[in-house]
Amino acid sequence: MIATLVLVFLLGEIRARTSVAKELPPLGNVADFSLTNQAGQTVTLDTLRGHVWVGDIIFTRCPGPCRKMTHEMNELSEALPASSNTRLVTLTTDPTYDTPPALRDYIQQLKLKTAPDRWLFLTGTKQQIAQLAVDSLKLTSLEKPAADRESANDLFIHSTIFVLIDKQARMRGIFETTGEGIDFSQVKKGILKSIQALEKES
């Protein structure tokens, strides 16, 4: 009887993991990188390996959707269980301006409740940012032509999505968070469900 119950349990686990794999198929691997967080500490792919993480890209001078995206990421941070090992990763499109002190100022201005080891705001050289954001995470990050800028700080065109990465550094999900008709409360539920599923993977 016990053996039967164990077998049923194991079969259920296999089916659940198979279902997750179908719903969240690998979309590509994240290449190694070396960037600097808001505390001035070096962060590499090995720092995040073994953790599920959610990434996005913003810049602190942004007059557009960046603050809304950051508030949404903050909502996600607050909704994660205390037991969760998931990390949040925010890249900047504007690394020349967004130094670690500028990122810390941004965090304070927005009154974000986060620790550097839970939510990483990352900066580096433009090439380093592009290698992670564009090449690995498939995020858009383009400098806006001066003639097309609507204000002095209207500097970049960038993605407004959150990407989901698994413990093996593979992209597993893409979530549009900001835009007409998008209800972030529903998007957040989908992200949290996906995180929960990926955290159960070995």
- pLDDT score at 182: 87
- pLDDT score at 179: 75
Residue 21's Cα: distance from chain center in Å? 20
- Can you tell me the distance from the alpha carbon of 52 to that of 167, in angstroms, rounded to the nearest whole number? 5
Helix axes 66-79, 184-200, angle to 10 degrees: 50
Dihedral angle at the C-alpha atoms of 160, 56, 168, 116, nearest 10 degrees?
-160
- pLDDT score at 123: 96
- pLDDT score at 14: 31
Q: For the chain of 202 residues, list the mean pLDDT of each consecutive stretch of 10.
A: 33 35 83 96 96 94 88 94 94 93 95 84 93 89 62 62 96 87 90 95 85
User: Which residues are CB-neighbours of 41 under 8 A, at least 6 positions away?
Assistant: 116
Closest CA to 187 of 68, 28, 41: 68
Q: What residue segments make up the domains of the chain, in order of their start?
A: 26-200
- pLDDT score at 8: 31
- Can you tell me the distance from the alpha carbon of 197 to that of 156, in angstroms, rounded to the nearest whole number? 34
- Can you tell me the distance from the alpha carbon of 167 to that of 115, in angstroms, rounded to the nearest whole number? 20
- pLDDT score at 159: 77
Closest CA to 191 of 179, 178, 174: 174
- pLDDT score at 157: 60
- pLDDT score at 192: 95
Q: Is 83 helix (H, G, I), strand (E, B) or coil?
A: coil
- As given in the structure block, the two tokens for residue 119 are 């939510």
Residue type, 129: I
Helices and strands in the chain: count of H runs, count of E runs: 6, 10
- CATH architecture of structural domain 26-200: 3-Layer(aba) Sandwich (3.40)
Angle at 125 between CA 122 and CA 129, to 5 degrees: 55
